[in-house]
Amino acid sequence: MLAVSLGELAAQFGCELKGDPAATVDRVATLSDATAGSISFLANQVYRSVLATTRATAVIVRRDDATEFAGNALLTDDPYLCYARIAAVLHPLPAYPEAVHASAIVDDSAVIGAGTHIGPNTCIAANCVLGERVYVGAGCVVEAGVHLGDDTRLLPNSTIMHGVQIGARCIVHPGAVIGADGFGNAMSRDGWVKVPQVGSVVIGDDVEIGANTTIDRGSIENTVIADGVRLDNQIQIGHNVRIGEHTALAAMVGIAGSSVIGKRCMLAGMAGLVGHITLCDDVVIGGATMVTKDITSPGVYVASFPAEPDGDWKRQVARFRRLGELTKRVRQLEKGKSDNE
């Protein structure tokens, strides 16, 4: 393990240090599970009481919370952000040697950058371009004409379809499929006629794509995922969708075709967008919320139904079904009152 002194961490990440600058840490841990040699953090006040008993060598806290911990502390305005950066230092991504496994199939026309690692049972098709230090995990399929930027990682069993472009320092988690056909069909008298999906997918730099997430290729123009986007697991992105910089989508979000999501938006789990609508920058969509029209003002939008006892829910549904009748009666009463005046 890599051991780093608190003095080094404080200097690197602009923290105020309370305690011994020579003390070292080599791993991160929760407050409750921490032991000597680990560093933890407090970002949620729910866990403030645990500070007094944690055995961590150091904690990352706001200045207001530092009095609750007698040991070493890194003081910062945003403990969670600081923790993320320190965790990346103490737990770096695995390093892989430059190599092409004997079982990999790499087309002669593919361009492979220096330091790239291609794992077992992979397929790199014709005219692919892989940048420097790219990692292609076991069982990945990279179809013809794909471009992968420097330091991008395809984790095992991910599939990149033909012509897709992925920028630098991206991470594609296992089972993700990028560039499969979008859902394009035209109805004829004899049934559905498949609409060719002739666009591609263009992904910027520093994008992370979760396990079993799918990003469909464009029907005519490209599907575009901008720099810094974060996609959780099991997300569906339809054809021609455009997602702005640093937007984050949580698990099981579904985005129908040709929707546009602005910059720095956040969509909670199971949220959905119908097709051909636009979200402006800085919009937050709550869990299980369905968006059916454009959102033009930044803010938080929620329209889900939290779980409640079955009997209460059934009574509310019954009342809802009678709203039409009640509305009609109210109108009749108002009309009668108006006629009598």
pLDDT tens for the chain, residues 1 to 341 = 689 999 999 999 999 999 999 999 999 999 999 999 999 999 999 999 999 999 999 999 999 999 889 999 999 999 999 999 999 999 999 999 999 999 999 999 999 999 999 999 999 999 999 999 999 999 999 999 999 999 999 999 999 999 999 999 999 999 999 999 999 999 999 999 999 999 999 999 999 999 999 999 999 999 999 999 999 999 999 999 999 999 999 999 999 999 999 999 999 999 999 999 999 999 999 999 999 999 999 999 999 878 899 999 899 999 989 999 999 999 988 887 666 66
Q: At what angle do helices 310-321 and 323-340 cross, to 10 degrees?
A: 40
| E strand or H helix at 221 | none
> Considering only CA atoms, which of 145, 148, 213, 128 is closest in space to residue 178?
213
> Is the separation of the CB atoms in 231 and 250 below 8 Å?
no
Question: What is the number of residues in the chain?
Answer: 341
Q: Do strands 135-136 and 153-154 pair parallel, antiparallel, or not at all (unpaired)?
A: parallel
**CA-angle at 95, arms to 158 and 213, nearest 5°:** 20
DSSP readout, 162-196?
A: TT-EE-TT-EE-TT-EEEEPP--EEEETTEEEEPP
State how far the alpha carbon of 36 is from the alpha carbons of 40, 55, 154, in Å. 11, 6, 35
Q: Residue 245's pLDDT is what?
A: 98
Q: Residue 336's pLDDT is what?
A: 76
Q: Residue 121's pLDDT is what?
A: 98
Task: Give the whole-angstrom CA distance, residue 123 versus residue 173.
Answer: 17
> Is the separation of the CB atoms in 231 and 210 below 8 Å?
yes
| E strand or H helix at 89 | helix 79-90
Q: Residue 338's pLDDT is what?
A: 66
Whole-prediction pTM: 0.92
Beta-strand ranges (E) seen in 54-204 are 58-61, 72-75, 99-100, 105-106, 111-112, 117-118, 123-124, 129-130, 135-136, 141-142, 147-148, 153-154, 159-160, 165-166, 171-172, 177-180, 185-188, 191-194, 201-203
> Is the separation of the CB atoms in 258 and 240 below 8 Å?
yes
What are the structure tokens assigned to 141, written together?
A: 């399929």
Place of tokens 């190599």: 99
Q: Residue 339's pLDDT is what?
A: 67
Active site residues: 239
- What single DSSP character describes residue 295? B
**CA-angle at 153, arms to 147 and 156, nearest 5°:** 110
CA of residue 183 relative to chain centroid, distance: 22
Position 31, amino acid: L
